């Protein structure tokens, strides 16, 4: 009888080992897939990046400005200064002194050469003063009232207002036996402190003599009544 010297080795469960390896590979693949998906979402989503940064560095998250935050503009100091300056200018214009109303007068001055001057009214404007005057030449020769451009109006403060002479009769010549009557305009707004005026013809070149054809006539103390 032949003895079987060969012992039969136990069979290895190869199918079980291969299944376990496949299971581990499947888990590893799943983990890699989840990790890749997470990285992809992190790259594509800025909000997740901010959350992750906030977890890593809280100070950086606190100091960083929030997204889409609108900044409210503040008023410029220069605009405020301009508005205040405009208001100040308006106020100073409103407080300008008022002019006196027109006044009716009856003043008369006779010159030695026979000339008679009658002042019947005075009125005031923002840029001039107007005098209603009638002058009768009683002299034998023509006379002139503005020979050297010196027919003027002078207030009691010493301020002088020059005549606006007509271009066709700048020397204000009057023929014998005739009367020149009209509104004589003197340049300049009257001083707010003035209380009276004086009217002078030929103030620098005139004469008081009876033979003079340049009569110096002075109508003094023309009163000014306030508004």
* Spans of all domains in the chain: 19-63, 103-223
CATH class of the domain whose range is 103-223: mainly beta
Longest dimension (CA), the chain: 196
Question: How many CB atoms are closer than 10 A to CB 179?
Answer: 13
Task: Report residue 129's pLDDT band, with 50, 70 and 90 as the boundaries.
Answer: very high
pLDDT single digits (tens) 38-77: 777 667 676 666 766 666 565 544 455 454 544 444 444 4
Model pTM score: 0.58
Question: How many CB atoms are closer than 10 A to CB 82?
Answer: 11
Surface-to-core class of residue 17, CB atoms within 10 Å of its CB (0-12 exposed, 13-18 middle, 19+ buried): exposed
């Amino acid at each position: 009888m032949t003895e079987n010297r060969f012992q039969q080795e136990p069979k290895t469960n190869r199918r079980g080992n291969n299944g376990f390896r496949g299971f581990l590979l499947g888990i590893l693949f799943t983990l890699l897939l989840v990790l890749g998906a997470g990285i992809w979402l992190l790259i594509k989503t800025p909000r997740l990046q901010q959350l992750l940064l906030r977890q890593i560095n809280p100070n950086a998250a606190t100091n960083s400005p929030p997204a889409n935050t609108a900044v409210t503009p503040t008023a410029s100091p220069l605009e405020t200064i301009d508005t205040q300056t405009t208001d100040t200018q308006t106020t100073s214009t409103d407080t300008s002194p008022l002019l006196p109303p027109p006044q009716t007068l009856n003043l008369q001055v006779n010159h030695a050469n026979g000339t008679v001057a009658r002042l019947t009214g005075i009125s005031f404007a923002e840029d001039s003063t107007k005098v209603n005057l009638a002058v009768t030449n009683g002299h034998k020769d023509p006379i002139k009232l503005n020979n050297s451009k010196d027919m003027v109006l002078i207030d009691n403060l010493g301020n002088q207002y020059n005549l606006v002479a007509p271009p066709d009769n700048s020397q204000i010549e009057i023929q014998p036996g005739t009367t020149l009557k009209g509104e004589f305009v003197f340049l300049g707004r009257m001083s707010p402190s003035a209380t009276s005026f004086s009217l002078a013809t030929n103030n620098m070149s005139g004469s008081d003599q009876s033979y003079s054809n340049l009569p110096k006539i002075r109508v003094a103390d023309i009163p000014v009544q306030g508004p």
